[in-house]
Amino acid sequence: MNIFESDKEYIASTYNRFPVHLVNGKGSLVYDENGKEYIDMGSGIGVTSFGFADDEWQKAITAQIAKLQHTSNLYYTDPCVTLARKLCEKTGMSKVFFSNSGAEANECAIKAARKYAAEKKGKDYFTIVTLKNSFHGRTLTTLAATGQEHYHELFNPLTPGFAYVEAGNIDELKKTALETKAAAIMMECVQGEGGVIALDADFVTQTAEFAEENDIILIIDEVQTGNGRSGKLYSYMTYGIKPDIVSTAKGLAEGLPLGATLLGEKVKDVFGFGDHGSTFGGNPVCCAAAVSIIDRIDDNLLSEVRKKSSIIFEEFKDAPGVESVSGLGLMIGIKTVKPAGDVVKECMQNGVLCLTAKDKVRLLPALNIPEDVLKKAIDIIKKSLNP
């Protein structure tokens, strides 16, 4: 059996993979089994922010793996606490819980908000208000948080205690939060899986003010938008708000599994011993990898991200075959005249790997993609837009 047949035989069929067998890569270039070169404009869905096989990242991992690969959370290890300190110093958040994925980072955020509200206001304050068209993960609780009915079908009953409001409708949000005795409001500043749609700035600031006034925990899901992807370290910084909880994963450890839930002043001590945990969470190798990444997401890199973002917006906004361009930083959705799936297929044939989100072509290139490589990819994508 070749790899396509073996995969079909032995791997649960949850992923509709592209028919490409990738074997190695460096930076923003990746190669298949036949040596064909692709420019990567997807970074493993917003994960490999410094490209494939990044040298500093490799060095950090191999140095740590030669010392300790795992200890459990019963002992102290340096990379875990170093990373937590750096994240707190860079964000003004107070404490961190480490897990292994975005969904788990959100589970932790939801547990923290519910415990805070139960202790402060009463056990009937448990509802988490989220936005329609959101995406927060695949566990039964984060699916419940995800405001898209089609993900729920056939998996009911999900975790109860979620309510959904239209993004941008502040009156509906306030009414729902008060009526349901909300513990928290949870949102992505840019809805990624929902079609790369940045939330309206007034809606976000009004939500933050309302949450603050009513002592409702504000959770910002930075799983996809975080760690430099938006052009700021975290996307909420673009909106000038201060969340109570920030969840992140994806680009944090550049491909090693690591989720983080950043707890602000209000909730920093909400968890006591035994309230939450994870065998692998805060693993020293993953945390060492993340330290090597977070150290390099500085003003210089972030201004490069914003510059490359402008290049992409400029190149596509009036291009033939394009209806609209949306997003923030290097998280971009292009609504094309031709079906997005067809564009992505043609790009792949011509040596560029792109993604889709809903009916859009989605671009999530590495944050450090060289400008000439980016321009080459843009030219190839543009050629694929013609009907």
Q: Where on the chain is the footprint of ligand PLP (CB under 6 A)?
A: 101-103, 106, 135-137, 188, 192-193, 221, 223-224, 249
Q: Is 96 helix (H, G, I), strand (E, B) or coil?
A: strand
Closest to ligand PLP by CB, 40 or 221? 221
Contact between 166 and 172 (Cβ < 8 Å): yes
Cβ atoms of residues 381 and 325 within 8 Å: no
Q: Tell me how far CA of residue 290 lies from CA of 3, 154, 244, in angstroms.
A: 31, 36, 22
Amino acid (one-letter) located at 115:
K
Nearer to ligand PLP, 223 or 260 (CB): 223
Output the smallest distance, CB 134 to ligand PLP, in A.
8
CB 233 within 8 A of CB 207: no
Q: Residue with CB nearest ligand PLP?
A: 102
- The closest of 344, 301, 336 to 317, measured between CA atoms, is 336
Query: Would you say 248 or 384 has its CB closer to ligand PLP?
Result: 248
Nearer to ligand PLP, 125 or 135 (CB): 135
Looking at the Cβ atoms of 101 and 384, the one nearer to ligand PLP is 101
Nearer to ligand PLP, 27 or 228 (CB): 228
Least distance (Å) between residue 195 CB and ligand PLP: 12
Q: Smallest distance from the beta carbon of 106 to ligand PLP, in angstroms?
A: 6
Q: How far is the CB of 308 from ligand PLP (least distance, A)?
A: 21
Shortest spacing between CB 219 and ligand PLP, in angstroms = 11
User: At its nearest, how many Å lie between ligand PLP and the CB of residue 246?
Assistant: 12
| Contacting residues for 343 by C-beta, under 8 A, at least 6 apart | 336, 354, 361, 381, 384, 385
Angle at 43 between CA 37 and CA 49, to 5 degrees: 120
Identity of the residue, 193 or 244, whose beta carbon is nearer to ligand PLP in the bound complex: 193
Among 238, 156, 259, 169, which residue's Cα sits nearest to residue 207? 169
Picking from 112, 67, 42, the residue whose alpha carbon sits closest to that of residue 353 is 42
**Shortest Å, Cβ 194 to ligand PLP:** 9
351 by Cβ neighbours in 10 Å (0-12 / 13-18 / 19+) ranks as middle
Minimum separation from the CB atom of position 248 to ligand PLP (A): 9
Return the number of the residue (102 or 333) whose C-beta is nearest ligand PLP.
102
Our CA dihedral for 347, 349, 352, 358, rounded to 10 degrees, sits at 40
DSSP 8-state symbol, 218? E
